[in-house]
């Protein structure tokens, strides 16, 4: 049996309905604002940049100075790795950055954990697959005493390398690796990098390693 509302009851019902609609709209708007802010704040997480300044003078007889840094601890959506090296290119100097996995979790990339190395040794630029002892060298002479090496690796699905380019002192280098790119140039399980300098000449090295990702992390609360 249907009953008719009185005029006062109808007014009260209309007020209640309007308040409910307003609350729902305000809640939805608030969520949209939070989503927008979370997206805006999270944008920088699309890339990670590691800068390594000149290391202090070594106290050891072999003049070695080194440091270890976390490369990529958990992300699986890497799309590009850029490596930029600048250093004193004296023939007696050795400057390199090694990549691998810190299997024993001691926060140090031990010799047996190193897989691939990029750098300068014996007056030449080199890239080495440490596991198989395959080394590729370039005889490009550094400009004066300053050596510059820029490497870009584009990564696809399942960490497969799509392309590789290297420029040393402004010239294209390691063409053989660019034409037939081996997969050991970058591995998805790497989580540590080690920067090493040896030599008695004046030190002025600097490294930047930038990892770009496919996705931006968005947190919504």
**Contact (CB, 8 A) for 144 and 124:** no
Give residue 26's pLDDT: 45
The residue extents of the domains of the chain are 48-213
pLDDT band for 19, please (50, 70, 90 cuts): low
Note the pLDDT tens digit of each residue in 117-151: 999 998 899 999 998 999 999 987 766 678 999 99
The CA-based dihedral angle spanning residues 75, 78, 82, 85, taken in that order and rounded to the nearest 10 degrees: 30
pLDDT band for 110, please (50, 70, 90 cuts): very high
Between the CA of residue 37 and those of 45, 54, 157, what are the distances in Å?
14, 38, 30
CATH code that applies to domain 48-213: 2.60.120
Give residue 32's pLDDT: 41
- Give the tokens for residue 191: 């989580």
The pLDDT mean for the chain works out to 79
**Contact (CB, 8 A) for 146 and 84:** no
Give residue 20's pLDDT: 54
């Amino acid at each position: 049996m249907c009953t008719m509302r009185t005029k006062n009851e109808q007014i009260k019902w209309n007020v209640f309905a309007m308040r409910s609609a307003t609350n729902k709209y305000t809640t939805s708007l608030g969520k949209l604002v939070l989503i927008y802010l979370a997206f805006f704040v999270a944008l920088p997480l699309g890339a990670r940049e590691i800068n390594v300044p000149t290391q202090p003078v070594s106290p050891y007889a072999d003049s070695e100075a080194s440091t270890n840094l976390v490369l990529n601890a958990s992300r699986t959506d890497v799309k590009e790795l850029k490596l930029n090296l600048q250093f004193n290119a004296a023939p007696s100097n050795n400057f390199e950055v090694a990549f691998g996995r810190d299997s024993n979790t001691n926060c140090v990339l031990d010799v047996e954990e190193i897989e691939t190395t990029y750098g300068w040794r014996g007056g030449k630029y080199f890239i080495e697959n440490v596991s198989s002892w395959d080394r590729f060298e370039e005889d490009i002479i550094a400009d004066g005493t300053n050596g510059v090496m820029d490497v870009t690796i584009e990564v696809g699905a399942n960490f497969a390398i799509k392309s590789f380019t290297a420029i040393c002192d402004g010239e294209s280098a390691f063409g053989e690796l660019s034409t037939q790119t081996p997969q050991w140039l970058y591995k998805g399980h790497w989580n540590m990098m080690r920067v090493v300098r040896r030599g008695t000449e004046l030190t002025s090295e600097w490294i930047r390693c930038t990892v770009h990702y496919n996705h931006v992390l968005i947190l919504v609360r």
